[in-house]
Structure 1
C-alpha cells in the first residue's frame, strides 16, 4: 500500500472511531435535541412580549386639544396622512378633546396621566400650535406638527377633505435583484453560518482532552501520525455536524408549511446575486471550510488542556474569537468595496463568512475559486501546526529543542 493511501486509510479510521463514539451514545440524543431548548426559550420570550404588547395596546394615544372645527380638520388630515406613514413605527391613534379654561395645564395633565400612555399633546390655534412631549427623540410630536400644518392648509384653500385624485397602484416585478435583497441574503448567510459553527465547531475542544486523560492518545500517536489523528478527529466531528444539520433540515422542511404567509412572502424576497443553486453549493462549501478552520483551531487549543476546568476556561476566548469573525464578516457586507471587506475575505478564519456574504451580493465566480483554495491551504497549515504543537508541548517527542547559543 502506498504512503498516501495508507495515510488516508488511517485518517478515515480515526474519523470513523470518533464518529461512532460520539453518535452511539445517549448524550448525542440530548445534543441533537438541544435546539429545542433555544426554540422553547424563544417562544417563551415571544409570548411574554406579545402579552406585554397586548396589555399596552389601546393604552397609548396622542391628543389634540382643539375646538370642534379644528378637531374635525385634524382628524381629516390624520385620515389622509396616516396611511402614508409606515405601520411598523407604531404610531398611536389620534384623540381630540375640547379645550378647558387653561389648555396648557390640561395638556400637561394629559401628558402625566398614569392610566394611559400619552407621548405628545397639541393645543392652541392651528396657525400657532403648541406641542409638548416627554421623549427627547419623539416622532409623534413631529407627526402632530404635520397634521396641524395640513389642517391649516386645508382651511385656507377651502378643501372639504375629499380626495382630489384616485391613484392606481400596480406592482411590477423587478428584472434584477435589488441591493436590499442582496444585502439581506448576505446577512442571512453570515448569521446562519455563524450560528451553526458556534453550535458545532466548539465541540472539537474537548475531544483531545478526553484522549489525554485515558492515555489513548499515546497509543494513537505511536501507531498513526498525529496529522492523521487531528484530521481524522476533524472529519469525525464534521460527520456529527452533518448528521445534526440533516436532522434539523428535515424537520424544518416538514414544519415549513406552518410558516405564516406574510413571513413566507418576506423570506421569498431574499435573493442572492449568484442564484440559488450556486449559492447553496457555495454555502455548503464555505460551511465545510469554516468548520474545518475553526475546528482545527479549537482542536489545537483544546489539545493543550488536560482537565475539564481548563476546557471551561477556554470556552470564553473561543466564543470571543467566533464573535470577532462574525462581526468582521458583517462589516464586510455593509461595505463591500472597502478595505474591511478585502481584509475579511483574506483573513483565513473570517474568509468563509465574508465570502458566503459575497456570494449573495456579487455574481462573480472566480473569487470563490481562489477563496476556497486559500481556505483549504490554511486548513492544512492549521492542522500541521496543531500536530507539531501537540507533539512538542504535550508528548514532548519533537527531539532536542533548538538553542540560541552553544556553550563552549
Structure 2
C-alpha cells in the first residue's frame, strides 16, 4: 500500500512539474503575470476620462437666485458661509444673483430651460416663501437654495451676516481600527479570494480542454494512471497560482510605502480584527481551500468539454454560481453573525470567502480551526469525486477498448 501510494505520488508530481514548467517558463506567462497591472492601468485611464467629463460638467454648472439688489449682499455672504460646511466633492455649484427684469418667474424658468443646461436650479420670489425651479439632476441644488433662503432670513432678523461663533478645530489621530475598517477588510478579503480563484482556477479548465483536444491527455493516461494525471494537473496549476499570489502579494505589501501620507493613513484604518499576521495566514489557507475546490471543478469540466464551444457553455454556469457565492459572502462580510453569514460560512463553495470575512470582522480564532477542517473534508470529497469523473471524461474522448469480433458461425 505504501509503495503504491509513493508511486502514485511520484507520478502526480511528475505531471505537476510538467504542467508547471510548461506554463511558467514561457514568454506568455509574463503577460499573464502582469495582466492585473494592465487591468489597473486601463481601469485608471477609463476612470480618469469619466471623472474629467464629470468635472467638466460640474465646472459649467450654476445655481441662480433672482433677488432685489438690496438683498444680493446678504445672499452672497450667507452662501459663502454655508459652503464651508460641505466637503470638497459635495460643494454646490457657484451662485449667480440676478436682478429681476419685471417677470421673475419667467426669468427663472428661462435660465433653467436654457439650451446650455448649465443652471441646475433657480430661486425667485420673497425669501420667506420662495419658489424654486430645478432640472432633472438639480434636486440637491434646489434643497440648498431652500436652506440658503432660510439662513438669509435668519441673518436679516439678526441684522448681520457675520459669524456668531469662532470654533477651534483640532485633528486627532485615531489608533484603534473601527468596525467600519474591519468591514472594509472583510469585503477586500472576499473580493480578493473571488477574483484570484476565478482568474487562476480558470486556467485549469482551458489547459485541460486544450490538452484533451490535441490528445495529450491520452498520451499521459497511457503512461500513468488518470488519477495521478488529475492530481498532478491540480498541483501544477496550484503551484502557478501560488507563484502569482506570491508575486502580487509582495507588490501589494509595498504599496503603502509609495502612497501619499493621507492615503497611507486612511489605508491604515482598514485592518482585520484577528491581526495582520494571523489574517495573512488565514487568507492564504482559505485561498488554498477555495482554489482546490473550484480548481477541481474546473478541471472536471475541462475534461468533459471536447470543443471550445462546449468549454464556454460550461464556464458560464460556473461563473454564475461563483457570483452567487460571492454575493452571499459579501452579505456575510457586511452583516457578520446573521443568517446569511451562517449559510455562507457553512456552504462549502462560499465558506472560504465567508470565513476570510469572518476573520476580518471577529478576533476569535477557534471558529477557523473548525472551518478549515470542514473545508478540508469537502476538498477531499470533491477531489475524490473529481478524479473518478475526470477518468470518465478523459476516457470518453478516446476510442475506448476494442471489442473482440465474434467468431463466424460454422458452415
Same fold (TM over 0.5): yes
Any stretches of 5+ residues in structure 2 without a counterpart? 402-411
Number of the residue aligned with 1:392: 392
Q: Distance in 2 between matches of 1:361 and 1:283?
A: 13
Number of the residue aligned with 1:108: 109
Task: Give the 3-state SS of the residue equivalent to 1:122 in structure 2.
Answer: strand
- Alignment root-mean-square deviation, CA: 2.5
- Range moving further from structure 2, 390-399 or 206-215: 390-399
CA shift for structure 1 position 222 = 5.1
- Range moving further from structure 2, 127-136 or 221-230: 221-230
CA shift for structure 1 position 394 = 4.1
CA shift for structure 1 position 296 = 0.9
2:301 and 2:311 in contact (8 A); partners too: no
Matched, 1:294 2:313: no
Number of the residue aligned with 1:316: 316
Change (3 A) 1:38 1:175: closer
Task: Give the 3-state SS of the residue equivalent to 1:330 in structure 2.
Answer: helix
Q: Distance in 1 between matches of 2:265 and 2:64?
A: 36
Number of the residue aligned with 2:245: 245
| Aligned structure 1 segments of 4 or more residues deviating by more than 6 angstroms | 396-399
Task: Give the 3-state SS of the residue equivalent to 2:139 in structure 1.
Answer: coil
Please give the TM-score of this superposition, normalised by the length of structure 2.
0.89
Q: Distance in 1 between matches of 2:158 and 2:79?
A: 17
Number of the residue aligned with 1:8: 9
CA shift for structure 1 position 212 = 2.6
- Range moving further from structure 2, 110-119 or 206-215: 206-215
Q: Distance in 2 between matches of 1:304 and 1:134?
A: 57
Matched, 1:119 2:120: yes
2:230 and 2:390 in contact (8 A); partners too: no
Q: Distance in 2 between matches of 1:119 and 1:223?
A: 74
CA shift for structure 1 position 134 = 1.7
- Range moving further from structure 2, 102-111 or 65-74: 65-74
Number of the residue aligned with 1:208: 208
Matched, 1:354 2:358: no
1:61 and 1:116 in contact (8 A); partners too: no
Number of the residue aligned with 1:48: 49
Change (3 A) 1:392 1:47: closer
- Range moving further from structure 2, 77-86 or 297-306: 77-86
CA shift for structure 1 position 386 = 1.1
Number of the residue aligned with 1:96: 97
Number of the residue aligned with 2:132: 131
CA shift for structure 1 position 360 = 1.0
- Range moving further from structure 2, 129-138 or 177-186: 129-138
CA shift for structure 1 position 282 = 1.1
Number of the residue aligned with 2:66: 65
Task: Give the 3-state SS of the residue equivalent to 1:168 in structure 2.
Answer: coil
Number of the residue aligned with 1:165: 165
Matched, 1:77 2:83: no
Please give the TM-score of this superposition, normalised by the length of structure 1.
0.89
- Range moving further from structure 2, 244-253 or 101-110: 244-253
Number of the residue aligned with 1:404: none
Change (3 A) 1:385 1:63: same
1:227 and 1:383 in contact (8 A); partners too: no
Task: Give the 3-state SS of the residue equivalent to 2:59 in structure 1.
Answer: coil
Matched, 1:363 2:358: no
Any stretches of 5+ residues in structure 1 without a counterpart? 400-408
Change (3 A) 1:315 1:248: same
Q: Distance in 1 between matches of 2:393 and 2:46?
A: 47
1:15 and 1:235 in contact (8 A); partners too: yes
